[in-house]
Amino acid sequence: MRVFGIIFGVAASVISTVAVADKFGDPAAGEKVYRQCKSCHQVGDGAKHRIGPQLNGLFGRQAASHDDFRYSKALMRAGTGGLEWHADTLDAFLENPKAIASGTRMSFRGLKNPQERLDLIAYLRVFSDSPANIPEADPTASPTDHDIDPAILALKGDPEYGEYLSSECTTCHQTSGGDDGIPSIVLWPEEDFVLAMHAYKNKNRSHPVMQMMAGRLNAEEIAALAAYFAVLEE
Amino acid sequence: MTLNRRQFIGTSAAMAAALSAPMVKAQGKPRVVVVGGGAGGATAARYLAKDSKGGIDVTLIEPTRKYYTCFFSNLYLGGFKEIEDIGHSYGGLAAGGVNVVHDWAIGVDRDAKTVTLAGGGSVPYDKLILSPGIDFVEGAVEGWGLSAQNAMPHAYKAGSQSELLKAQLMAMPEGGTFAMIAPPNPYRCPPGPYERVSMVAHFLKQNNPTAKIIVADPKPKFSKMALFQEGWANHYDGMVDWIGEDFGGGNVSVDPNAMTVTIDGEETKVDVCNVIPAMKAGRIADLAGVTDGNWAPVNATDMSTKADADIYVLGDASSQGDMPKSGYSANSQAKVCANAVRGALTGSKVFPAKFANTCWSLIAPNDGVKVGATYEATPEKIAKVDGFISQTGESADLRKATYEESEGWYTGITSDMLG
């Protein structure tokens, strides 16, 4: 399943191909960006898993799919739910790992600069099978559609409305923060909460129940929920 | 909003003029009585007490001291849960400020606004929320009545009936026959009978692999049909014989003394017979005079009945539109109702109604599936907005994750209902 790919495909067919090509990254610049990753990850000949998994052959692979690496439950769940690594999903993940998999062990705040992400993705792309050999392989790098409007992030939520809306969440998510089978959503930073909910709303995250729930919440309602859960105490 | 007596008298004319003015009692707190402590009633009682912070006097009338969830009771039959795993006390609600009365509600006086209790006495209300679940339509299955429920259990209200059916399943002779008479629409938990078939098949595969399951069904198709049929073929090949409407599954009679089932004129001797008859709203809805036919029609915005603006009906007993009769639905409706009732009684802000439902079913170990949808209130009914369903041929990992998610949901909803 490639939820992300479908969306990108539609977008790409509308946007002119020249505009897309302009947004390809520069692998040489990406190698410099990659220095931030090197303390945990290896890539290239003889790369091994270290604190993080090795990154060869990343493109087109299901998230959390190396059998010999211990991933967080959150990333495993995302992979099982259909998350695959492509330029678009990597871009969203690299911008804020916790927006794509809340419980990921990758303790990296994220690359806020879109050009740096494009360059890094172009660099990592070198270590996957080449598009020249495999025509249907991923492009080297591509623009994304996951960015959310800074005005949305700036919205101040109404916690009272959030409390009412939260009753729809607490049918499954425990207010105690308990996490068995369904992740905890209490005491998240508001920005992460908003990003995660918009990722479901835009179907960049793969869970069907959450896509449905987030899909009908507007930006104010998501902000209200974020405001409420951010300070919820038992 | 609180007013002393003099202020109340002084402002009462203005209050009366404002159409949306909340009801303000000159003396004492507003009183809400909730009948039925299941997914609808317990949730409504808990949210009213919690959100009004003591501003509303909430009484829950529920005859049993221990509540066994109907959801997950099939997993008990399959051996995945102990009966105590699905049993819950009302201690959390009492601690949360709900006055829990263990008694039967046997009547409603809509003029005096009181609920009569079997144990004597009556309880006054300003707003009455009925969440009585289901009862069975008499004569729905020829030869079966409530007096036959020990010989042929329904096990569609969880607890002792579930234990009885499990005991009969365990006592089946080698190679014996388990029959199920499935209900016509609409009924509680649309995938429930078929999850039960799956769980019975799982138990028999482990303990009595040559046994057979016959299902007589008055419907031509059922909830998650493709998923269940795929699962039965994968896990229990040849064990389940589903006889739908096309093959006479609706033309059924039973003989509880002889332990026979006659389907479309053909009589079969069976060892266990699980009769799930046609259903209707729990009796108190009828006694309150808010039903029309088998169910109680309600307004989608707040679950108030069409018959009486001060009586609300939640969950299985209501006729509301597109939502399935499920614990999740009842819990969702209860929150909308509690918000509206609190607003009407205390003047708190009433937010627009949003409803949702998801039903998980277990087919075999780590093989979970789900179906769900969101809903909105329209002037006519609760109307479906968006939905999804598990697909056939999903990976084992995804099915396992779905099952684990259902376990998480169980913990979530039971604490959401009962505190």
Contact B67, B38 (CB under 8 A): yes
How many Å lie between the alpha carbon of B335 and the closest alpha carbon of chain A?
Answer: 7
Whether the predicted pLDDT of B203 surpasses 90: yes
With an 8 Å Cβ cutoff, is B48 touching chain A?
no
Q: Is residue A22 part of a domain?
A: yes
Domain boundaries, chain B: 142-275
Mean pLDDT of B141-156: 97
In this prediction, residue A138 carries a pLDDT of 55
Contacts of B362 (CB under 8 A, 6+ apart): B74, B75, B78, B80, B195, B198, B199, B368, B403, B406
Closest by Cβ to B388, choosing from A80, A173, A212:
A212
Cα dihedral B199/B201/B203/B205 (nearest 10): -150
Q: Please tell me whether residues A160 and A107 are part of one structural domain.
A: no
Calculate the alpha carbon distances from B337 to A21, A156, A190, B105 in Å: 54, 27, 29, 20
Domain membership flag for residue A188: yes
Among the partner-chain residues A80, A171, A213, the one whose CB lies closest to the CB of B398 is A80
Of A170, A177, A186, nearest in space to B46 by CA: A170
Give the CB-side neighbour count of residue B203, counting CA atoms within 13 A: 24
Which of B374, B395, B412 is the closest to A173 by Cβ? B412
Q: What angle do CA B381, A208, A169 make, to 5 degrees?
A: 65
For the domain that residue A194 is a member of, what is the CATH number?
A: 1.10.760.10
SS3 B326: coil
Domain that holds residue A203: 150-230
Say yes or no to pLDDT of B5 above 50. Answer: no
A179 and A117 in a common domain: no
B54-80 confidence digits (pLDDT tens): 999 999 999 999 999 999 999 999 999
Instruction: Report if residue A134 sits inside a domain.
Output: no
Segment B244-248 shows an average pLDDT of 95
CB of B343 closer than 8 Å to CB of B350: yes
Chain A residues closer than 8 Å to B407 by CB: 180-181
Pick the closest to residue B358 from A169, A77, A193 (CA basis).
A169
CA distance A50 to A15: 40
Domain B142-275, CATH: 3.50.50.60
For B358, the closest chain A residue by CA position comes to A209
Note whether A80 contacts B374, CB cutoff 8 Å. no
Judged by CB atoms closer than 8 Å, whether chains meet at B386 and A215 is answered as yes
Q: Does B411 touch chain A (CB under 8 A)?
A: yes
Residue B186, preceding bond cis, omega within 30 degrees?
yes
Strand order in the sheet with B105-109: B105-109, B114-117, B122-124
Tell whether A67 and A157 lie within a shared domain: no
Question: Is A139 domain-assigned?
Answer: no
B300-337 pLDDT, tens digit per residue, is 999 999 999 999 999 999 999 999 999 999 999 999 99
A35 vs B7 pLDDT, higher one: A35
Residues A99 and A162 occupy one common structural domain = no
Q: Is residue A133 part of a domain?
A: no
The per-residue DSSP string of A139-193 comes to: PS----S----HHHHHPPP-HHHHHHHHHHHTTTS-TT---SSS---TT--HHHH
* A141 occurs within a structural domain: no
B5 touches chain A (CB under 8 A): no
Q: What is the pLDDT along chain A (234 residues), one digit of tens a residue?
A: 333 333 333 333 333 333 333 467 888 999 999 999 998 899 999 999 988 999 998 988 899 999 999 998 889 988 988 888 988 889 889 998 988 888 888 888 899 998 999 899 989 988 887 654 454 455 544 444 356 788 888 899 999 899 999 999 999 998 887 777 888 888 877 887 888 899 889 887 778 999 999 999 999 999 999 999 988 764
Quote ipTM for the complex: 0.79
Burial per residue of A99-108, b for 16 or more beta-carbon CB atoms within 10 angstroms, e otherwise: bbbbebebee
pLDDT of residue A233: 65
Task: Please tell me whether residues A158 and A222 are part of one structural domain.
Answer: yes
Q: What pLDDT is recorded for position B183?
A: 98
Residues A196, A83 share a domain: no
| Torsion B109-B110-B115-B117 (CA) sign | positive
Task: Enumerate the residues of chain B whose CB falls inside 8 A of the CB of residue A212.
Answer: 356, 372-374, 386-388
Which pLDDT does position A130 carry in this prediction? Answer: 63
Contacts of B339 in chain A (CB under 8 A): 164
Q: How far is CA B141 from CA B165, B177, B180, B244, in A?
A: 18, 19, 12, 15
Mean pLDDT on B117-144: 97
Q: Tell me, yes or no, whether A51 and A114 share the same domain.
A: yes
Boundary-marking domain end, from A76, A110, A125: A125
Cα–Cα distance measured from residue B365 to residue B78, given in angstroms and rounded to the nearest whole number: 10
* Residue A70, CA distances (Å) to A51, B47, B54, B353 in order: 10, 41, 49, 43
The Cα of B1 is separated from the nearest Cα of chain A by a number of Å equal to 17
**Is A162 part of a structural domain of the chain?**
yes
Does one domain contain both A120 and A154? no
A178 shares its domain with A216: yes
Residue B132 has pLDDT above 50, yes or no: yes
Mean pLDDT on B39-45: 98
Question: Is the predicted pLDDT of residue B182 greater than 90, yes or no?
Answer: yes
Percentage of chain B lying above the pLDDT 90 cut: 93
Q: Do residues A98 and A166 both lie within one domain?
A: no
Residues B345-388: tens digit of each pLDDT: 999 999 999 999 999 999 999 999 999 999 999 999 999 999 99
Domain termination site, one of A90, A125, A160: A125
In sequence order, what are the residues at sequence separation of 6 or more whose Cβ sits closer than 8 angstroms to the Cβ of residue A118?
A: A23, A24, A25, A26, A30, A91, A141
Q: Rounded distance, CA B385 to CA B376, Å?
A: 7
pLDDT per position as a tens digit, B253-299: 999 999 999 999 999 999 999 999 999 999 999 999 999 999 999 99
Report how many domains make up chain A.
2
Mean pLDDT on B228-257? 97
> Is residue A217 a part of any domain in this protein?
yes
Res B246 pLDDT > 90: yes
Q: Are residues A25 and A83 in the same domain?
A: yes
- H or E segment to which residue B68 belongs: strand B66-68
B409–A182: do the CB atoms touch at under 8 Å?
A: yes
The proportion of chain B whose per-residue pLDDT surpasses 70, expressed as a percent, equals 94
